[in-house]
Amino acid sequence: MSIRVQLLIVALTTLILPWAGCQYARELESALRMSQESALEASADTIAHALAAEPHRVFRDMVDTEPFADRQGDLYVYPLHVQPLLDGYQEDWNVAADPVSLPSQGGAGARLKLGSTDRYLFVYVEFEDPQRLERVDLTLERPDGSLETYFFASSAQGLIQAQTFVMGDDGFERPVPEPRIQAFWLEAAHGYHLEARVPLTLVGSRLWLEARDGAGNTSGFRVPDPPHGGRLFMATPGLDDMLAVFIRSGTRATVVDSNGLKLGIAGNIQAGDESESDTDAESTWYRRFVSVDTSSWPVMASAPDRVTGKSVATALAGHPAAEWLRSQGTQELVLMAAAPIKVGGEIRGAVILDQAGDQLLAPRDRALTHLFNFTLFATALAALFAFGVATLISLRIGRLRAAADSAVGNDGSIRLEMPESERSDEIGALARGFERLLARLNEHTQYLRTLGGKLAHELRTPLTIVRSSLDNLESEGVRADQRGFVIRAREGVSRLQSILSALGAAARVEESIKQAERANFDLCELVRAAVAGYRDAFPASRFELDTPPDACPIRGAPDLIAQMLDKLVENAVDFCPASGVIRVLLARNASNYELSVANDGAPIPEAMLGRLFESLFEHREGRDDRPHFGLGLYIVRLIAEFHGGTAHAANRPDGGGASFTVILPLI
């Protein structure tokens, strides 16, 4: 794995910072939710104490504190914000609740819905009677506690007035119109609709309905007889305005009685600040990483007449409470807090505050979103910086590696200077270490290069003494049994002389290469003349020559080229069998000459092909009487490089021998 990839991986570990930020954000969210719960619960308790100080403005004294019993005829009066039109339909009431079925003693069924404005009580009744109704009686308990009965009778649909019976002077009851109570009688497909409007000044705390058919029967539609059942539970006038004083934007306050029925409501849980909404929309993506799992939270119940839930039940039991809910449809989070309203030690109702769950989290989201963005930006910069540093380090190491690969030239020269050595870091120290190593290697190489000459110089005098001693010994005469020893000693002296000559020749070749002078000559003519001489020098070998028909001009040292060709031919003669052929080929292409010498015989092992041109490298399977030092092909390489060319060896494609090729550039 490259250094760049390693440092990039190290830089990517900085992503743990956003992860840690997400964990911190979750913990912070939990703490903020607890703080929001406590704050909203405290606000609800404060409002509850304020309302408990003025119970007459909160509760209607005519409604008792007994439990709401809808099966016994208890009715909830929905608050109407707009006065509906008397037309026999309920659609313009804008109340998302169906009429409730009335308890009756038999006969056809009826459904009733009540609503009120600040002046009127509206009554909507649906009768499912296959027979024609003669009249509908409406009995009201007046604010003073007295009972008053009104009836509606009509032979055709349309707008009608209520009537009541008044005792005349003659002792008989006579129907009298009541213009304050208006109604609309509507014949529907499956019965009748009655929509009536009654002034609140005539309404107390109870209401009863009774229907009479054409035969005068009163069975059906009858609500329990007075004084049982028929209680009216309605919102307290002016309570909405009173609640609006206590709440701020983004909070909804609801007051319920001991049955959970709504007495007043004010505010809205949707904040009106558009800038905050825009900010929340921008941080929606961020909440995906830090939001807690809310799938197990209860769904907020929504009913037009009452408020339910665990917190409401706890508050009506006498203890403040708060809970998190999910709103229906949007699945947004809502915090609900409830506190009991105690009047004279008795729990009369509760104050309920609803607040958007993310309202207090919005400042947190804005701050953490900026922090999260900054952290991601910093991480990206760190990764880019690490990648850049890794690239720079890789480039520096690459330059150092390239310099190390080319420190030793093909001619054996050593370049001592290394890039990056002037730097003070670890790479600079490594470069200086390479320089010291190359300096010691250069000293050793120089010693090896001069070793042959030194040995030849130092051994020449002792060798002369040995030779002269042998000459003196032979001149004085030796016995027959001693002559064999003298002959072997003289052969050893001859071999030592050959060795010294070869070492001296190698040293002289290197010096001659350095001091050689270049000239223009015909390479083709030189090769032809040399091969003609080889035929005379090596009569046991067969030579084949292939050269271009025209001249091959080249600039170089002809003596060195001839010496190079001598070494190649000598090598081919050594390895060519007695019946083999040595082929000398000179070819020319667009940019260079190719001079090759190929011989029959055994192929060269593949592992040795790349080392044949090294100094003092020798690979021969057998031995002969001549010393070999592996300097011949080394000299070939030096001469080829002096002329700007290269030398290489290869086995013949047919496997019948080897070929040595020198490539020389054209003029």
Q: What is the pLDDT of residues 217-274, one digit of tens each?
A: 554 445 455 555 678 888 888 898 899 999 888 899 999 998 889 999 998 887 555 4
**In 3-state terms, what secondary structure has residue 295?**
coil
Q: CA 345, CA 368: separation in Å to the nearest integer? A: 47
Per-residue tokens: 358: 């993310």
Q: Which helix H or strand E contains 113, and what residues bound it?
A: strand 110-116
Q: What DSSP designation does 443 have?
A: H
Q: Print the SS3 string covering 589-652.
A: CCCEEEEEEEEECCCCCHHHHHHCCCCCCCCCCCCCCCCCCCCHHHHHHHHHHHCCCEEEEEEC
What is the rounded average pLDDT of the residues 297-321? Answer: 89
pLDDT tier at 358 (50, 70, 90 boundaries)? low
pLDDT tier at 276 (50, 70, 90 boundaries)? very low
Q: What is the pLDDT of residues 89-105, one digit of tens each?
A: 999 998 888 888 876 66
pLDDT at 154 over 70: yes
pLDDT at 280 over 60: no
Given a contact cutoff of 8 angstroms between Cβ atoms, the answer to whether 350 and 52 are in contact is no
The predicted pLDDT at position 279 comes to 47
Count of C-beta atoms within a 10 Å radius of residue 452: 22
pLDDT tier at 664 (50, 70, 90 boundaries)? very high
What is the rounded average pLDDT of the residues 575-595? Answer: 91
pLDDT tier at 275 (50, 70, 90 boundaries)? very low
Domains of the chain, first to last:
31-59+237-274+293-365 (3.30.450.20), 70-233 (2.60.40.1190), 426-509 (1.10.287), 517-665 (3.30.565.10)
Q: What is the pLDDT of residues 336-347, one digit of tens each?
A: 999 999 998 889
pLDDT tier at 296 (50, 70, 90 boundaries)? confident
Per-residue tokens: 165: 């019976």
pLDDT at 397 over 70: yes
Q: Which helix H or strand E contains 389, and what residues bound it?
A: helix 361-405
Q: What is the mean pLDDT of the chain?
A: 82
Share of the chain above pLDDT 90, in %: 29
Q: List the one residue out of 643, 647, 654, 621 whose CA is nearest residue 633.
A: 647
pLDDT at 509 over 90: no
The predicted pLDDT at position 331 comes to 65
The predicted pLDDT at position 204 comes to 87
The predicted pLDDT at position 534 comes to 92
pLDDT at 501 over 90: no
Q: What is the pLDDT of residues 169-194, one digit of tens each?
A: 888 888 999 999 999 999 887 788 99
The predicted pLDDT at position 62 comes to 46
Q: What is the pLDDT of residues 57-72, one digit of tens each?
A: 888 764 546 788 777 7
Greatest mean pLDDT range, 127-131, 148-152, 207-211: 148-152
The predicted pLDDT at position 542 comes to 92
